[in-house]
Amino acid sequence: MKRATVLFTFLAFVLVVAGSLFAAAPDSAVLAAKNGNVTLSHKAHAETYKIACATCHHTTKEGETPQKCGACHGVDAKAPAAKDAFHTQCQGCHKTENEKNAKAAPVKCMECHKK
């Protein structure tokens, strides 16, 4: 009986780990924009810079899969337009980091927007 319990526990652990691997965030995200798309290194922001998921995915509740920005921004009248939200959130964070680290992140239009 103990052997079956150990085996069951091990298999459950493997399934949980495998599930979390498949639910992992993408390496990058492309944000469509009229003046050139912005490719965000999702992996760098999450792993290297240690930015919490909820910083950007601010409406996601514990245990939920984060929605893409366009699920609210540009759709829900209560949410700011995507352009305004990104410029406030992303550019604002980059400016703050630059003040701390002497030019660490891009803030000019064409540094992020690529045609």
Q: What is the structure's pLDDT at 1?
A: 53
Q: Which residues contact 88 (CB under 8 A, 6 or more apart)?
A: 80
DSSP 39: E
DSSP string, 44-99: IIIIIS---HHHHSTTPPTTSPPPPGGGTTTT-TTSPPHHHHHIIIIIHHHHHHHH
pTM for the full model? 0.69
pLDDT category at 14 given cuts 50, 70, 90 is very low
pLDDT digits (tens, 9 = 90+) for 25-75: 789 999 989 999 999 999 999 999 899 988 999 988 888 888 888 899 989
Q: What is the structure's pLDDT at 3?
A: 58
Tell me the C-alpha distance between 31 and 1, whole Å. 53
Q: What is the structure's pLDDT at 23?
A: 54
